[in-house]
Amino acid sequence: MDERTPEDKRKLIIDCDPGHDDAVAILFAHVYADVLGITTVSGNAPLESTTRNALAVIELLDADTPVHSGASAPLAGQAIHAAGVHGAGGLGGVDLPAPSRAVASTDAVQFLLEATRAQAEVWIVAIGPLTNIALALQEDPTLTERIAGISIMGGSATVGNATRVAEFNIWADPEAADVVFRSGAKLRMAGLNLTHQFTTSDELVEQLREIGSTKSTFVAALFDFMHGRMEELIGKRRSALHDPCAVLTLTHPELIVSEPRAVVVELDGTHTRGMTVVDERVTRRRDPANVEVAYSIDADRAMALVVDSVRKT
Ligand code: RIB
Ligand code: CA
C-alpha cells in the first residue's frame, strides 16, 4: 500500500507525446506523484493529436492538471511520427471521448520556465522528443540550477527501435536531445535497454479487464491495441511499457538500478544519427558521467504498482 502524503510526493511536470505508454505514465504519476502540469510535443503523432490525447486522459482521470501545448516540429528537419505503432491519432484502439476542456496555453516553454521559478525541486519527466525541454534550456540555461532534474524515457545503452541504434524520442529530434544531454542538468535516462525488461502481456490485459472500471478498461484497451501492433511488428503479443519507467525511477527508485555514465548524442553519423553513445569503458580514463543510466528493473513489483495505480484512480 502506498500512502504518500502530498508533501512526500515528488513534484513533476510531464512533457509527453501521448502515445499509449505516455497515457499510462500520466495515470501512474497522478497516483504516486504531484503533477504540476503537462506539456505536449509532436512525436508519436502530430502536436494537435498528442495535445488532444493529453487533455482526454486528464479528463478521464478527472484531474485539474493544466495542459500546455508546445513544439509541433523538431529543432531541425521535419516532424517524424509513429503511426505504425500508436495509430495515426496517437491513441489507436481506444475510445476516449473528445476532451471538453482546452489547453491552459500554447506556450509549453513559458510554462516550464515559470512553473520551475514558482516551485523548487521540480522534476521534468520527458517521455517524448526533447524539443520543448531544449527550447526552454536555450531560452533560460539557469533552468538546470532550479530543477531537481530531468528524467528521460529515451535513448538506449544497447539496441535502437527507430533505427538499429537510435530510440524514437531521441531520433525524432537529435539536436534537442544533444542540447539536453550537454546542458549540465541532473539527468536520469530510462532507455530501451531498461524498458525492454518491462513488458505487458495478455494476462495483464485480462487482469485489468476484471477490475471493470472505466480506467482499467481504458488501460486494458491501450495494451490490447499495442499487443496487436507488436504481433505484426515482432510476432509477439507483448509491449514494452517505456514511459512509466521515467516516472518509476522517481517515485520508486528502489525498483531500478542505475549507473553514472558519460552519454553523448550522435548527430552526424550516416547509420548512427540519434544514437545515445554511452561510455561503457571500465578504465579510469572514461569520460566524466553526465547521466544516471538505468540498467535493471524489478519488473514484477513495478507492474504490480501500475495495476494498483489503475485500481486507485
Ligand atoms: O521509444 C519509445 C518512446 O517512443 C516512448 O516514449 C513512446 O511513447 C514513443 O514516444
Ligand atoms: Ca512517449
pLDDT of residue 1: 43
- Look up 196 and say whether it is catalytic: no
Ligand nearest to the CA of 160: 1
7-312 is classed CATH 3.90.245.10: yes
Query: Tens of pLDDT along the chain (313 residues)?
Result: 456 766 789 999 999 999 999 999 999 999 999 999 999 999 999 999 999 999 999 999 999 999 999 999 999 999 999 999 999 999 999 989 999 999 999 999 999 999 999 999 999 999 999 999 999 999 999 999 999 999 999 999 999 999 999 999 999 999 999 999 999 999 999 999 999 999 999 999 999 999 999 999 999 999 999 999 999 999 999 999 999 999 999 999 999 999 999 999 999 999 999 999 999 998 888 899 999 999 999 999 999 999 999 998 6
Q: What is the pLDDT of residue 3?
A: 63
pLDDT for 172 equals 98
Distance 243 CA to ligand 1 centre (A): 7
Q: Does the beta carbon of 168 sit less than 6 angstroms from any atom of ligand 1?
A: yes
| Number of the ligand closest to the Cα of 83 | 1
Confirm if 167 and 242 have CB atoms less than 8 A apart. Answer: no
Q: What is the pTM of this model?
A: 0.97
Q: What is the pLDDT of residue 260?
A: 97
Which of 22, 173, 194, 222 for a ligand 1 pocket mutation test, highest count of atoms within 8 Å of Cβ?
22
Does ligand 1 lie within 6 Å of residue 128's CB atom?
Answer: yes
Dihedral sign of CA atoms 56, 39, 24, 10 in order: negative
The finding on whether 15 has its CB within 6 A of some atom of ligand 1 is: no
Phi, psi angles (nearest 5°) of residue 189: -125, 115
132 within 8 A of 104, measured Cβ to Cβ: no
